A and B are shown apart, each in its own frame.
Chain A
Amino acid sequence: MSDFLYQFIALDLPPMLTATFAAMSCALLGNFLVLRRLSLMGDAISHAVLPGIVVAFLVTGSRSALPIFLGAACAGIVTVLLVELVRRFGRLESGAAMGVVFSILFAIGVLLMEQASARNIDLDADCLLHGQLETIFWYPPRSLAALFSFQTILQLPVELLVSIAIFIVASIFVVAFMKELTIAAFDPALATSLGFHAGGLHYLLMVLVAGAVVASFEAVGSILVIAMILCPPATARLCTDRLRVQMVLSLLYAALSGIVGYLVAAFVPMAVGFESSVNAAGMISVISGVLLAGAVVFAPNHGIVSKQLRRIKLTLRVLREDLLALIFRAEELQGGVVSLPRDEVLVAVGGGILPGFSLNQLLRDSDLNTTSSLISLTDSGRKKARKLVRSHRLWESYLVNKLGLKPDHVHKSAEQLEHFSRGPLDQQLAEEQRHPASDPHGRVIPKDE
């Protein structure tokens, strides 16, 4: 094994994997917090476990995992109960109730910690915020073959083993209770009436969140845990509408943030000439934020780009239809084929870049003919235009006859409705009014062909 590889396996792999598994546990459970509008409960719990951990320290005097975990889990449950109490009796919205509870608990935690640090107990306020990924390392065997033996696994750093264990527990919980968690996330009342104990499930979820938070403390610190709980699920939520897909994606994003974040923090600063690496936990949450920002912009259905593209497409379609209808109405007035100056038509539908673009589309689809600067309808264009004008006038007469609007008030509504009323709806409009011959303004409604 080369020296570089050995160093990587000894110094970088354990913290990277610890962070990755911690991020994945948090993200897995975070999906349900995001869906149930309990995001801030993750925030609240990650602050409020602090006094639980310190009390566990002070009582047992040890840093072993079990008492800390119990202390944190108790603190998590207490937080959830207190928030509920304050919300009910204080008649506060749940966000404010969480704010009250977690900030006071955190303040108590800080005070307790300051007192504890006087007794030489190794608790550092900064560690709880930053995490201490950099302190996780081990002495792996020299040969690659020995690396994959059972003995080696037992020698892995305890932080890594804990975060893997939490991930396994969280996965088992989620897989076992998938159905119940799903129904409780979307409709707690239905869940209760179907006989699931929605409340009990809620508390179980909160205990696991507290567990994941504590396990991730070592890795990423208390505040950055919130990023792990919220960012990957939020990113996944922007990318899909299906819960199972969302959960798989969130795991993927969490793993990606963990691995990329760690590698960037460990190697990029040195590569660009810095003396030392930067804080890995911070970088991991920054990467998860970058992923989220990417999803906000580029997500297939809910991203800004695809939303804008959809709007532009719609605008173009409306403009195309308006253009055709405009020329069709001119033909009606003249009683025959007309050719209109291209520029005047463009100005009439609004002017700007998009009308010109839509005109080109019409030429390409041969709905329009062009000779020098004049444009006229082709047969296929005339057919489309007739359909649209028919739709427009059917709506106008429907609005007047059936809804009792005044004839001079209906043009604008019909102008919008015409673009969305296709075939069967037009048919229905016509039938309900017994196939009217003309609209309220006295213009002939074109026959359907």
Chain B
Amino acid sequence: MDATGVVSSLTDVSIIWPSISEILETLLLRAGFNSALVVVGSSFLGLAAGIVGAFALLRKRALMGDALAHSALPGLAGMFIVITLFGGDGRNLLLLLGGATLSGVIGVVVVQFLAGYTRLTEDTSIGVVLSVFFGAGIVLLSVIQSMETGQAGGLSHFIYGQTAAMQVNDAYLMVAVAVCVLLGATLLAKEFSMVCFDSEFAAVQGWPVATIDLMMMALVTVVTVIGLQSVGMILIVALLIVPAAAARFWTERLTYMILVSALIGGLSGYLGSVASALLPRLPAGSVIVVVAGVIFFFSFMFAPQRGVIAGGIRLLLLKFRVQRDHLLRDLYEICEGSGASFKNFIPLQAVPIVRGWSWLSTQVYLFIIYLRGEVAVQEGAVCLSESGYNEALRLTRNHRLWEQYLVLQAGVDAGHVDYSADYVEHVLSPEVVHMLEDELHRAGRLPGAGELPESIHAIVHGNKESS
């Protein structure tokens, strides 16, 4: 090999993109037995984690999975040492996972103890347990490395996750566990939702809350331990939390939330493991979590009810509605103040300066009411249309009714009511208006049903000073 060949191979970092047929084959589980195995196993793991995570999230126990996963390391390493000392093969998965479960459960029990019986809060307890247990695990790992027979290489997979190491039996295990979790969650769905939403009510109703919690934690434990090998102990908590948190954006109903969470979890496992199989240097655990993260981000932004964009649009629409109301009322009051007929055109300059709108926003709000056919526009002047006039009259009336009410019932000074009425006028329902009318009529403050009361304070508008 010549010198340039060596250099090019060292600096060659370009990713070899898979062809479309390769992608399709992996997606459809036709890219060989091993790849299919990994994809199926990861998908089922994601599914199970999605279901269990949804309950754990609602029960505010989501981070318990984190403590559990980190605390599993000393058990894992300790079991490896014990097996090796007895002359066995340290890579016996079932024994290793048994050790992991043991120390993980001990970790969770210690968290519960610290949070319940000392003055430390639950978050501190979770933090100290996961870091100290993990530290003990690291110490044991370094012991293994110094043992002559020890090969700790297999164990570090459990930290970051390594789906490629998955064997036939492991995949079967994951599928079996996912089915069990599905079964358990279905059977206990009523009990779980009860303690999730109101554990005290459940206790009063005679449900064994502690036992139900224990079963939920058992499911969390099973999913966490099974996920150690493929996703790794640092990131398995993401599989419990992220799909559930993403599902929360899409629905308010528990049943749907669990279904959506399971779907997101399964999809993350599926797409993540496929991507990991197709591209080099993509550890499956991280890819699965990043896929889940992308879905979370998508839900966060675009969910129809609770998403950020939907929320922003709702806010903007509300703002437009409020400002349109203000504009209509201003136009009405300008005409009323100048004593001119409502058929007259008002020059645009007279349109409210007092609200401090910029030229641009004034144009936008004018355009909105123009689109709604509430004004006619003619050479830099506007005039209320028939429907616009009715709407403006209604709004002005609501505004003044509320002002009168504040003066009459709340004892607010007449000079102070305009501002608060500005907020309330948009949301007065016909029923409330009716009640206001009745009350003011009885107090003799209303000239007659349907008539517009005089404003109880001076109205300041741009045109007032000029007239």
With contact pairs A234-B124, A238-B119, A275-B146 given, residues A103 and B242 touching in the complex (Cβ less than 8 Å) = yes
Q: Does B296 interact with chain A (Cβ within 8 Å)?
A: yes
A157-174 interface mask toward B, CB cutoff 8 Å, 1 = contact, 0 = none?
000000000000000000
CB distance A302 to B139 under 8 Å? Answer: no
B293/A107 in contact, CB under 8 A: yes
Q: Is A231's beta carbon under 8 Å from chain B? A: yes
Do B281 and A118 touch (CB < 8 A)? yes
CA gap between A108 and B234 in the complex, in Å: 13
Q: Please indicate the chain B residues that have their CB under 8 angstroms from the CB of A281 in the complex.
A: 135, 138
Q: Which residues of B contact A289 (CB under 8 A)?
A: 128, 131-133, 135-136
A279 cross-chain contacts in B, Cβ below 8 A: 138-139, 141-142
In this complex, the member of A38, A106, A110, A234 whose beta carbon has the largest number of chain B beta carbons within 10 angstroms is: A110
Partner of A285, one of B124, B132, B242, B248: B132
A55 to B13, CA, bound (A): 17
Pick from B121, B124, B238, B296 the residue with the most CB of A within 10 Å: B124
Q: Is A34 an interface residue (CB 8 A)?
A: yes
A110:B160 contact, CB within 8 angstroms = yes
Q: Determine if B120 and A237 form an interchain contact, defined as CB atoms under 8 angstroms apart.
A: yes
Is A412 in contact with chain B by the CB < 8 A criterion?
no
What residues of A have a CB within 8 angstroms of the CB of B235 in the complex? 103, 106-107, 110
Place the interface of chain B in its size category.
Answer: 35 or more
Among B118, B139, B281, B282, contact of A296 (Cβ-Cβ < 8 Å)? B118
**B27 in the interface, Cβ–Cβ < 8 Å?**
no
Q: Roughly how many angstroms separate A221 CA and B249 CA in the complex, as a whole number?
A: 35
The CA of A65 and the CA of B330, in the complex, are separated in Å by 61
Taking CB atoms, residues of chain A closer than 8 Å to B10 are 120
CA distance A284 to B135 in the complex (A): 8
Residues of chain A within 8 A (CB-CB) of B62 are 95-96, 99
A42 touches B127 (CB 8 A): yes
Which residues of A lie under 8 Å from residue B134 when comparing CB positions?
223-224, 282, 285
CB distance from A236 to the nearest CB of B (A): 11
Confirm or deny: B454 has a beta carbon within 8 angstroms of a beta carbon on chain A: no
Contact with A282, one of B139, B280, B282, B296 (Cβ below 8 angstroms): B139
- Report the separation of the CA atoms of residues A302 and B119 in the bound assembly, to the nearest whole angstrom: 7
CB within 8 Å of A: which B28-69 residues: 57, 60, 62-63, 66
Q: Is B287 an interface residue (CB 8 A)?
A: yes
- Contact present for A226 and B130 (CB under 8 Å): yes
Interface locus among A124-132, A318-326, A370-378: A124-132
Contact of B290 among A107, A117, A278, A286 (CB under 8 A): A107
Interface status of A48 (Cβ within 8 A of chain B): no
Closest Cβ of chain A to B392, distance in Å, is 37
State the majority secondary structure of interface residues on A.
Answer: helix
Which residues of the partner chain B approach A37 to less than 8 Å between Cβ atoms?
Answer: 121, 123-124
Taking a contact as CB atoms under 8 Å apart, the answer to whether B136 and A282 are in contact is yes
Determine the chain B residues whose CB is within 8 A of the CB of A276 once the complex forms.
146
Q: Which residues of the other chain, A, contact B296 by a CB distance below 8 angstroms? A: 100, 104
Name the CB-closest residue of A to B281: A114
Please indicate the chain B residues that have their CB under 8 angstroms from the CB of A391 in the complex. none
| Contact residues in B for A117 (Cβ distance below 8 Å) | 281
User: B270 an interface residue at 8 Å Cβ cutoff?
Assistant: no
Interface of B is mostly: helix
CB neighbours of B293 from chain A (8 A): 104, 107-108
Q: Would you give the 0/1 interface string for B96-133, flagging 1 where the beta carbon is closer than 8 Å to chain A?
A: 00000000000000000010011111011011101111
**Cβ of A208 to closest chain B Cβ, rounded Å:** 18
Does A107 lie within 8 Å of B289, measured CB to CB?
yes
Residue of A nearest to B120 (CB): A234
Any A CB within 8 A of the CB of B389: no
Within 8 A of A (CB), among B243-294: 245, 248-249, 280-283, 285-287, 289-290, 292-293
The residue from A43, A99, A282 contacting B137, defined by CB atoms under 8 A apart: A282
Q: A99-B238, A99-B241, A118-B13 are in contact. Are A230 and B124 (CB under 8 A)?
A: yes
Given contacts A89-B300, A284-B135, whether A103 and B63 have CB atoms under 8 Å apart is no
Residues of A within 8 A of B57 (CB): 92, 96
For the complex, give the distance between the alpha carbons of A265 and B124 in Å.
26
Q: For the complex, what is the distance from the CA of A93 to the CA of B126, rounded to whole Å?
A: 15
In Å, the complex CA distance between A213 and B107 comes to 24
Interface string of A58-98 (1 = CB under 8 A from B): 00000000000000000000000000001001111101111
> How long is the Cα–Cα vector from A97 to B118 in the complex, in angstroms?
25
21 contacts between A and B (CB under 8 A): A38-B123, A40-B63, A89-B300, A99-B62, A104-B242, A104-B296, A107-B238, A108-B293, A110-B235, A110-B283, A110-B285, A114-B286, A118-B281, A119-B13, A227-B135, A237-B119, A238-B120, A275-B146, A278-B139, A279-B138, A279-B141
**B interface vs A, CB < 8 Å?**
10, 13, 57, 60, 62-63, 66, 70, 114, 117-121, 123-124, 126-128, 130-139, 141-143, 146, 156, 159-160, 234-235, 237-238, 241-242, 245, 248-249, 280-283, 285-287, 289-290, 292-293, 296, 300, 306-308, 311
With contacts A40-B63, A275-B146, A278-B143 known, what are 4 further pairs, Cβ within 8 A? A225-B131, A226-B127, A285-B134, A289-B131
Nearest 9 A/B pairs, CB to CB: A285-B135, A289-B132, A103-B238, A282-B138, A227-B131, A104-B293, A107-B289, A279-B142, A282-B139
